[in-house]
Amino acid sequence: MTALAALTGHYLRVAFGNRFSLVFSALQPFLYLVLFGPLFDRSGVGSWAVLVPGLLVQLGLTSAGMSGFSIVFDQRFGVLERLRVTPVSRVTLLLGRVLKDSVVLLVQAVAIIVAAYALGLRAPLAGVLTALLLTTVLSVGMASLSYTAALTLRQELFAPVMSTLVVPLMLLSGALLPMSLAPAWLDVVSRLTPFRYAVEGLRALFAGSYASPALLWGVIVSLAFAVLGVTLGTRRFQKENA
């Protein structure tokens, strides 16, 4: 417990000391909000309350999803080995980083929601707060898988592979335009990605429909995704161990 707090605190200090990357990793969804949001709002497809949940998932992909980048450096400079010879459990070594990513994402998500509110978003507070919680759960899975990828791929491949992967995952989630508009084949492919369910669950929350099946599926899939991420991540931290 002490170890987890120490690790998370340490990584948070580093993260909030680097304002540039804090802003940069949230820049894409923010640009979509400001430069695409007004069009979307007038397109007749839906209002801000439909777009913003999608942007939260996009944020998860660009922020938590890219967090593995930091471990590439730690690995190169021997920091990771130094941590791995400490008695701290492997899952704690992973979670220290992941919790930091979740806090960072939460702060960025609040900033986006506040900006969206200024642009015209209206949604029930309870729904928005629950949506933040769900986004956090999702980010645990994304960050964990990002570290898993960073420790598995060759160092120089991580950034190009991940930033390329983010695009189809985001498009397939229906983050920008609801998948109800999609042709059947695209709808099917989209259902194979976890983020589709997260986006629809978040939309249900922003719409205040707390009893909808979409929300239930969003919660189930996000939780399963987080468990899967942490399991794979821990295993990756364990690999090669005696």
Q: How far is the CB of 83 from another protein (least distance, A)?
A: 7
| Residue 73 touching another protein (CB under 8 A) | yes
| Residue 235 touching another protein (CB under 8 A) | no
Q: Report which DSSP code applies to 166.
A: H
Q: Which residue, 79 or 157, has its beta carbon nearer to another protein?
A: 79
14's CB contacts (< 8 A; 6+ apart) are none
Q: Which residue, 212 or 238, has its beta carbon nearer to another protein?
A: 238
Task: Please write down the HEC assignment for all residues of 167-214.
Answer: HHHHHHHCCCCCHHHCCHHHHHHHHCCHHHHHHHHHHHHHHCCCCCHH
Question: CB-based burial of residue 75 (10 Å sphere; 0-12 exposed, 13-18 middle, 19+ buried)?
Answer: middle
List the structure tokens of 26: 């949230």
With CB under 8 A as the contact rule, the residue among 12, 22, 88, 107 that binds another protein is 88
24's CB contacts (< 8 A; 6+ apart) are none
Q: Which residue, 82 or 191, has its beta carbon nearer to another protein?
A: 82
Amino acid occupying residue 195: F
Q: How many CA atoms lie within 13 A of 143 on its CB side?
A: 24
Q: Which residue, 24 or 77, has its beta carbon nearer to another protein?
A: 77
| Residue 95 touching another protein (CB under 8 A) | no
| Residue 12 touching another protein (CB under 8 A) | no
| Residue 13 touching another protein (CB under 8 A) | yes
List the structure tokens of 107: 């702060």
| Residue 150 touching another protein (CB under 8 A) | no
Q: Which residue, 86 or 180, has its beta carbon nearer to another protein?
A: 86
Q: Report which DSSP code applies to 124.
A: -
| Residue 242 touching another protein (CB under 8 A) | yes
Amino acid occupying residue 68: G
Q: Which residue, 75 or 212, has its beta carbon nearer to another protein?
A: 75
| Residue 87 touching another protein (CB under 8 A) | yes
**Site of interaction with another protein (CB under 8 A):** 2-3, 6-7, 10, 13-14, 73-74, 77-79, 81-89, 240-242
